[in-house]
Structure 1
Amino acid sequence: MNDLKATRPGGRSARIQQSVHNTVRNLIETQGRESLNVPLIAQAAGVTPSTIYRRWGDLAQLLSDVALERMQPDAAPVSTGSLRGDLEVWIEGYIEEMTSDVGRTILRDILSSPKIENADACANYMRQQFDIMLERAAERGEEVPSSDALINHLFAPIVYRLLFASSPPNLAFARELIDEMMVTGKSCEPSNS
């Protein structure tokens, strides 16, 4: 016979996850983040605390999962007709969203998880967005850098400034990074040494 998990994608487990995620977002909005704890979330979501501990391990991992869900792109990046234009529009939206208090909290929540998988998933979301832009540019006949070059020379400096710099990145800084990428980034590949 067929395994229920194989025939019911999502099912009860997905409904529990969505209920808990929605509850966390609602509690943050209505009561503030500092009031959050596992028993409060469990009660509001209609599950037992042990369900949350079994599935997420601790509050940090749960907050990381909720943040990761918010990082998942809703749509493909806007196509402007050039790689430079696509990167500028994408990075402008990213900076606008992530320089907000909510955006910075999302990044910190993802990084605060004891499991590295959420940070990896976040990086993969960004890589997928870059791959879409790079594929479109290549189809137009543009010379394109690798997605690794975009991650290392465009995305990483912006995230660093979001998390650690006293002043957040701005569009002028992002455009400088894009200019450097367009000139030098085409051959920039990470070294394995």
Structure 2
Amino acid sequence: MSKVVTGLRPGGRSARIQEAVHQAVLALQHEVDAAQLNVPAIAKKAGVTPSTIYRRWGSLSALLADVALAKLQPDALPQDYGSFKADLYAWVEQYFEEYTSCIGLSLLTDIASDPDHREECYSLVNQQLNVIRDRAIQRKESYIENSIIIEMIVSPIIYMILFSKHDLDIAYVHKLLERLCKYQGLLTTTER
């Protein structure tokens, strides 16, 4: 007679604890100043012990980054507007709008504070750009490599959001996009 070994159940106790702790963080972020946000307060609100949080996340910054990363998960695939350039413009505009908001800035700050989550953030952007690239390939269009888009568009946007006091606007984003397209010789700046 063989013994059946069971693993972790998706949605089991571990998932419920994670959800409770994430919800506690989100609630407390609206209720208290950032300086008052700490592991004991989060644990109390979530109905777990502080040691549960430390054992699972290791530190407050790692927990905040994990919550931020969960919020950064896209709700949907990038929309299909019929061409690589239109898809890219729409995605970058949405990305810009999301991260220049107060919530977006807070999420970026939380993720930047925990090195273990930075690569996951990069991966999320890459996954979204893969969808846009794959559509271009299916349409037999030219496209720009993800790494170049990240270097020439995403990176300057994030840098300006985190380290500049200048107010950013969509015109700045369009300027970056036009420079990218011109540099790549892919599309004229008037197409879209």
> Which TM-score applies when normalising by structure 1?
0.89
Aligned to 2:131: 132
Counterpart of 1:139, as a letter, is: Q
Counterpart of 2:14, as a letter, is: S
Q: Per the alignment, in what secondary structure is the counterpart of residue 4 of structure 1?
A: coil
Whole-angstrom distance in 2 between the partners of 1:186 and 1:107: 32
Superposition map of 1:1-193 within 5 A: 1-6=3-8, 8-113=9-114, 116-185=115-184
Aligned-pair identity (%): 41
Whole-angstrom distance in 1 between the partners of 2:15 and 2:185: 41
Q: Which runs of 5+ in 2 are unaligned?
A: 187-192
Whole-angstrom distance in 2 between the partners of 1:3 and 1:184: 56
Shift of 1:186: 6.8
Aligned to 1:191: none
Is the deviation greater in 25-34 or in 42-51? 25-34
Distance 1:4 1:144, change over 3 A: same
Q: Which runs of 5+ in 1 are unaligned?
A: 188-193
Q: Is contact 1:144–1:186 with CA below 8 Å preserved after alignment?
A: no
> Which TM-score applies when normalising by structure 2?
0.89
Distance 1:122 1:3, change over 3 A: farther
Shift of 1:119: 0.7
Counterpart of 1:124, as a letter, is: S
Shift of 1:33: 2.7
Q: Is contact 1:153–1:177 with CA below 8 Å preserved after alignment?
A: yes
Is the deviation greater in 104-113 or in 85-94? 85-94
Distance 1:15 1:124, change over 3 A: same
Q: Is contact 1:149–1:186 with CA below 8 Å preserved after alignment?
A: no
Counterpart of 1:183, as a letter, is: K
Counterpart of 1:128, as a letter, is: Q
Q: Is contact 1:145–1:185 with CA below 8 Å preserved after alignment?
A: yes
Q: Is contact 1:27–1:36 with CA below 8 Å preserved after alignment?
A: yes
State the superposition RMSD in angstroms. Answer: 1.7
Shift of 1:2: 4.0
Whole-angstrom distance in 1 between the partners of 2:41 and 2:119: 29
Whole-angstrom distance in 1 between the partners of 2:59 and 2:124: 24
Whole-angstrom distance in 2 between the partners of 1:39 and 1:25: 15
Whole-angstrom distance in 1 between the partners of 2:56 and 2:64: 12
Counterpart of 2:116, as a letter, is: E
Is the deviation greater in 31-40 or in 16-25? 31-40
Shift of 1:168: 4.1
